[in-house]
Amino acid sequence: AQKITQTQPGMFVQEKEAVTLDCTYDTSDPSYGLFWYKQPSSGEMIFLIYQGSYDQQNATEGRYSLNFQKARKSANLVISASQLGDSAMYFCAMRQNYGGSQGNLIFGKGTKLSVKP
């Protein structure tokens, strides 16, 4: 069955330092996509970065990069040079082609990141 696990309920990082948010996933579908979303205290869901199961290189978007280790089924989000505005909930999510989910985006429980000045 499709599953996303985020084991860190909360994380602290000093401003300007890098931080890694962990995500592991489980699927039997060879075709899937992994996504990270940010939810600030204002509540909106912001799409950050995407990694496809067939992508050979790790995805990067500005200060965000995704450390994709397919054999270990992990898709960790790395935020470089943390800023105060990075304080938010971060969700790892997955879509797959087949199975009962039919392309539905399945979310992990999230990690609350707090950036300290």
Partner 1 sequence: DTAVSQTPKYLVTQMGNDKSIKCEQNLGHDTMYWYKQDSKKFLKIMFSYNNKELIINETVPNRFSPKSPDKAHLNLHINSLELGDSAVYFCASSQDRTSISYNSPLHFGNGTRLTVT
Residues that bind partner 1 (CB under 8 A): 31-33, 35, 37, 39, 43-45, 47, 50, 52-53, 89, 91, 95-97, 101-107, 109-110
Percent helix, strand and coil across the chain, each to the nearest 5? 5, 50, 45
Cβ of residue 34: shortest distance to partner 1, in angstroms? 10
Q: Closer to partner 1 at the Cβ: 78 or 89?
A: 89
Cβ of residue 64: shortest distance to partner 1, in angstroms? 13
Burial class (CB in 10 A: 0-12, 13-18, 19+), 20: middle
Q: Closer to partner 1 at the Cβ: 48 or 115?
A: 48
DSSP label of 45 = -
Cβ of residue 105: shortest distance to partner 1, in angstroms? 5
Spatial contact of 15 and 32, defined as CB atoms under 8 Å apart:
no
Cβ of residue 70: shortest distance to partner 1, in angstroms? 15
Q: Closer to partner 1 at the Cβ: 7 or 14?
A: 7
Spatial contact of 90 and 21, defined as CB atoms under 8 Å apart:
yes
Q: Closer to partner 1 at the Cβ: 85 or 100?
A: 100
94 three-state secondary structure:
strand
Compute φ and ψ for 7, nearest 5 degrees. Answer: -90, -10
